[in-house]
């Protein structure tokens, strides 16, 4: 399609309308859609609605086809809609929440999950997914931790590019979907972990920690970017020309559509950044924001702003062209329905091939935190108790798209399938409300069940709807009801294993000394129960590593591994005058990169090809890893650096590479990493991205809490 010619046939009003996005229900009511539809609240005229460029939230293939068909009847230019949706961790067959994907440290399974998701979503009539969400997170209180791959810029960047590749593949392939990386930028740094709250940080911190994962998506060819709700240093992202035009488009070369978050244009007034919708329209188009999601600032004001000479028509043309070019890439002009196919959508949903992928992801995402030998449970057990309200509940997490919790395999169903002849008894033990007080009647019933069993699987943590958007928690402790239950059940039966369902790091300190074995399954998705049963009974081995620090106390939050040393570090302190608390240590309960396995690994001393290097060369570090157990397993080797003295203070550790090794029982392998100048670069005091000469410490281990290092000199 010659999009420039198409642009020239559009009137100014039609071009302006093309920059709006409304929910699909404004075009065609899906079943249950309210008769007025939000379009009435936006006082849209039929002409404005007829020329809108995109919609979000279709109910499936039939609704998508009906929406596109109806739109093409209405649009005088017959320009197909872009149909977008939040396909975050699956369309109908769900994989673990992103925080669980981050815990896999496995870009291959992450890419395969995204690919599977694109196949299902494209059959469901979706062209663009509002994913991957790659906001770096450090504050466990924030509800949207569950959507992120964690606290490290390097790990988040690798997961970001894997998802873009998985979703997009070749955009000309109709089974792909265009990815829309979000929320640009630094939404995860909302003050106090409170959703939508302000973000204030130095440009250095923004560039060092928060931007890399978005840039990785752009470098991987992401088709769209969504600007975030939050301000950065007083400027709301959707109106932030420096962020959107100078950095995203200017420095990174991104030339796809930028979309706002839901009604973020209209919210510029609430921020106190705009006097009203007309000013908001001007600010956003100046920042090169292309698509306005679910508000009407552009459609109601841009024509007037052009007539007043405040906005040039050419600015609007640039926005429309970016949208038309994406439609062209997706082949919509040749086939407006792309891969929408109700029969295919039905056939793919929950199919065995997709179940196998999401089960593998759920197994790989679980992180074993403690095991006193209770795990794995024997397959010969005949009396098993499963306790907790999540025992027979599908734990699919927030942002579950068209996934249905009741379709997900529960822990009970997974254990039943593996142990068909065992007697499995359930007890609720607590209800699962936040800050719930103990119900001693429920606890007594659970203890009775625990006493009669040979082993107990105790399901604790938080409900899917206790994390996600607008789900921040000021108190991330387990409820007293859960703590009391865990203590009583573990007293009643020493053969107890705890499964934690969580969308964020929660405080496990009150139970960690009591429970003999505990692992987090995050919110594992459609095959969660089967994956958990496979792990508990040793059909699968744990390989997950924490992508986010688990604090010992919620008062430590935000707590992360790559902190600055300060002038009074706790290490080596001789008195109380160090950076710490009088009532808690600085140590986490479980550090970034931590995770146990049924296997045990011996990690040798790193061998360096040299202990100094120039910018022109590199140094190879090799390390022997031996599986000293009789169980095959995977070890995740992590390479960290520390820049000891620099023009800006540097973190005590920075992850720069990782590799997963599969080792049979008794097998030994040597793994190597290449240390390059690129790894040693940072945004220096001079504002350049470069490495500075000097002394570096190199750590190679299977967790961030290692203190073993070798010195490397860059000269
Ligand atoms: C929401 C979320 C964003 C999502 C959008 C559309 O408010 O912030 O992640 O993509 O609206 O549903």
Domains of the chain (ranges, CATH numbers):
1-79+229-349 (3.20.20.300), 356-556 (3.40.50.1700), 601-714 (2.60.40.10)
C-alpha 171 – ligand 1 centre gap (Å)? 23
505 vs 39, higher pLDDT: 505
Summarised one tens digit per residue, pLDDT across range 509-529 is: 999 999 999 999 999 999 999
SS (H, E, C) 563-620: CECCCCCCCCCCCCCCCCCCCCCCCCCECCCCCECCCCEEECCCEECCCEECCCCCEE
Summarised one tens digit per residue, pLDDT across range 441-477 is: 999 999 999 999 999 999 999 999 999 999 999 999 9
Our answer on whether the CB atom of 182 is closer than 6 Å to any ligand 1 atom is yes
Q: What is the pLDDT of residue 36?
A: 40
Q: What is the pLDDT of residue 29?
A: 75
**pLDDT band per the 50, 70, 90 thresholds, residue 572:** confident
Our answer on whether the CB atom of 262 is closer than 6 Å to any ligand 1 atom is yes
Q: What is the pLDDT of residue 39?
A: 53
d(CA 188, CA 210): 9
Nearest to 545 by CA among 40, 20, 104, 112: 104
- Please determine, for residue 709, whether its predicted confidence score (pLDDT) is greater than 80: yes
Half-sphere exposure of 110 (CA within 13 A, CB side): 28
Pocket test for ligand 1, best of 238, 259, 469, 472 (most atoms within 8 A of CB): 469
In degrees, rounded to 5, the angle at the alpha carbon of residue 55 between the alpha carbons of residues 49 and 59 is 120
Q: What is the pLDDT of residue 96?
A: 98
**Mean pLDDT calculated for residue range 49-61:** 95
**Mean pLDDT calculated for residue range 598-626:** 97
Our answer on whether the CB atom of 430 is closer than 6 Å to any ligand 1 atom is no
**The pTM is what?**
0.97
Our answer on whether the CB atom of 469 is closer than 6 Å to any ligand 1 atom is yes
C-alpha 229 – ligand 1 centre gap (Å)? 9
Least confident range of 17-31, 44-58, 479-493: 17-31
**Mean pLDDT calculated for residue range 322-349:** 98
**Mean pLDDT calculated for residue range 642-658:** 98
- Please determine, for residue 378, whether its predicted confidence score (pLDDT) is greater than 50: yes
Q: What is the pLDDT of residue 37?
A: 45
The token pair that represents 252 in the structure block:
């990174």
**Mean pLDDT calculated for residue range 234-249:** 98
Q: What is the pLDDT of residue 30?
A: 64
- Please determine, for residue 35, whether its predicted confidence score (pLDDT) is greater than 90: no
- Please determine, for residue 413, whether its predicted confidence score (pLDDT) is greater than 50: yes
C-alpha 261 – ligand 1 centre gap (Å)? 6
Catalytic residue status for 372:
no
Q: What is the pLDDT of residue 292?
A: 98
Average pLDDT, the chain: 96
H-helix segments, 435-527:
440-452, 480-492, 509-512
In the chain, what percentage of residues exceed pLDDT 90? 96
**pLDDT band per the 50, 70, 90 thresholds, residue 571:** confident
- Please determine, for residue 583, whether its predicted confidence score (pLDDT) is greater than 70: yes
C-alpha 182 – ligand 1 centre gap (Å)? 9
Whose tokens are 């060819």? That residue is: 221
First and final C-alpha spacing in the chain: 54
Please identify which of the residues 261, 290, 643, 702 carries the catalytic annotation: 261
For residue 479, what is the DSSP state?
Answer: P
Summarised one tens digit per residue, pLDDT across range 298-312 is: 999 999 999 999 999
- Please determine, for residue 376, whether its predicted confidence score (pLDDT) is greater than 50: yes
CB 429 within 8 A of CB 387: yes
- Please determine, for residue 552, whether its predicted confidence score (pLDDT) is greater than 80: yes
Q: What is the pLDDT of residue 573?
A: 84
Q: What is the pLDDT of residue 26?
A: 87
Residue 192, CA distances (Å) to 139, 557, 562, 680 in order: 8, 9, 19, 31
Half-sphere exposure of 76 (CA within 13 A, CB side): 14
d(CA 308, CA 689): 42
The token pair that represents 101 in the structure block:
């994907």
**Mean pLDDT calculated for residue range 44-72:** 95
Q: What is the pLDDT of residue 40?
A: 60
Q: What is the pLDDT of residue 81?
A: 98
Q: What is the pLDDT of residue 33?
A: 45
Measured from the Cβ of residue 276, the count of other Cβ atoms closer than 10 Å reads 12
- Ligand 1 atom with minimal separation from the 182 CA: 9
């Amino acid at each position: 399609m010659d999009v420039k010619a198409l642009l020239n046939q559009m009137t100014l009003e039609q071009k302006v309308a093309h920059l709006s996005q409304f929910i699909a229900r404004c075009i065609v009511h899906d079943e249950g859609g309210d008769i007025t539809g939000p379009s009435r609240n936006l006082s849209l005229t039929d002409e404005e609605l007829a020329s809108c460029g995109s919609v979000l939230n279709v109910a499936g293939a039939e609704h998508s086809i009906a929406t596109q068909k109806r739109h093409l009847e209405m649009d005088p230019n017959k320009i197909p809609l872009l149909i977008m949706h939040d396909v975050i961790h699956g369309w109908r067959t769900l994989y673990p929440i992103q925080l669980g994907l981050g815990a896999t440290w496995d870009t291959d399974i992450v890419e395969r999950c995204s690919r599977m998701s694109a196949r299902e979503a494209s059959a469901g009539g979706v062209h663009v997914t509002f994913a991957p969400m790659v906001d770096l997170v450090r504050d466990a209180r924030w509800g949207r931790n569950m959507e992120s791959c964690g606290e490290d810029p390097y790990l988040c960047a690798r997961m970001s590019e894997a998802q873009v590749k998985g979703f997009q593949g070749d955009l000309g392939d109709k089974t792909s979907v265009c990815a829309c990386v979000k929320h640009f930028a630094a939404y995860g740094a909302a003050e106090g972990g409170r959703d939508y709250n302000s973000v204030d940080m130095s440009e250095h911190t923004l560039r060092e920690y928060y931007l890399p994962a978005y840039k990785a998506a752009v470098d991987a060819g992401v088709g769209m970017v969504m600007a975030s709700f939050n301000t950065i240093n007083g400027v709301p992202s959707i109106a932030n020309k420096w962020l959107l035009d100078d950095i995203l488009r200017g420095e990174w070369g991104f030339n796809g559509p930028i979309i706002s978050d839901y009604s973020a244009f209209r919210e510029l007034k609430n921020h106190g950044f705009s006097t009203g919708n007309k000013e908001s329209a001007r600010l956003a188009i100046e920042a090169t924001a292309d698509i306005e999601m679910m508000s009407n600032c552009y459609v109601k004001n841009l024509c007037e702003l052009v007539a007043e000479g405040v906005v040039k028509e050419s600015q609007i043309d640039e926005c429309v062209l970016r949208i038309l070019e994406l439609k062209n890439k997706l082949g919509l002009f040749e086939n407006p329905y792309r891969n929408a196919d109700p029969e295919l959508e039905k056939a793919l949903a929950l199919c065995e091939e997709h179940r196998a992928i999401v089960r593998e992801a759920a197994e790989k995402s679980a992180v074993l935190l403690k095991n006193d030998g209770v795990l794995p449970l024997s397959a010969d057990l005949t009396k098993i108790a499963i306790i907790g309200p999540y025992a027979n509940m599908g734990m699919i997490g927030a942002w579950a798209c068209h996934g249905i919790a009741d379709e997900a395999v529960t822990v009970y169903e997974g254990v039943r399938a593996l142990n068909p002849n065992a007697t499995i008894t359930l007890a609720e033990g607590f209800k699962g409300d936040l800050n719930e007080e103990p119900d001693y009647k429920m606890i007594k019933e659970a203890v009775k069940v625990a006493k009669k069993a040979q082993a107990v699987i105790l399901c604790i943590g938080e409900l899917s709807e206790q994390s996600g958007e607008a789900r921040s928690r000021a108190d991330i402790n387990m409820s007293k009801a859960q703590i009391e239950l865990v203590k009583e059940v573990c007293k009643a039966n020493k053969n107890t294993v705890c499964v934690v369902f969580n969308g964020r790091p929660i405080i496990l300190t009150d139970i960690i000394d009591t429970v003999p074995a505990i692992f987090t399954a995050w919110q594992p998705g459609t095959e969660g129960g089967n994956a958990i049963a496979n792990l508990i009974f040793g059909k699968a081995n744990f390989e997950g590593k924490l992508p986010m620090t688990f604090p010992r106390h919620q008062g430590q939050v935000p707590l992360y591994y790559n902190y600055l040393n300060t002038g009074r570090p706790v290490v080596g302190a001789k008195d109380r005058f160090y950076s710490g608390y009088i009532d808690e240590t600085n140590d986490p309960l479980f550090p970034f990169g931590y995770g146990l396995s049924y296997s045990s690994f011996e990690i040798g001393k790193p061998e360096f090809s040299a202990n100094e290097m120039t910018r022109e060369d590199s140094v190879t570090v090799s390390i022997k890893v031996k599986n000293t157990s009789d169980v095959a397993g995977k070890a995740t080797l992590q390479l960290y650096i520390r820049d000891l003295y620099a023009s800006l203070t540097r973190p005590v550790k920075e992850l720069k590479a990782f590799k997963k090794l599969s080792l049979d029982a008794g097998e030994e392998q040597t793994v190597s990493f290449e240390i390059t100048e690129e790894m040693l670069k940072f945004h220096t005091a001079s504002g350049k991205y470069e490495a500075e000469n000097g002394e570096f410490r190199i750590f190679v281990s299977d967790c961030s809490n290692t203190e073993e290092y070798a010195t490397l000199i860059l000269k």
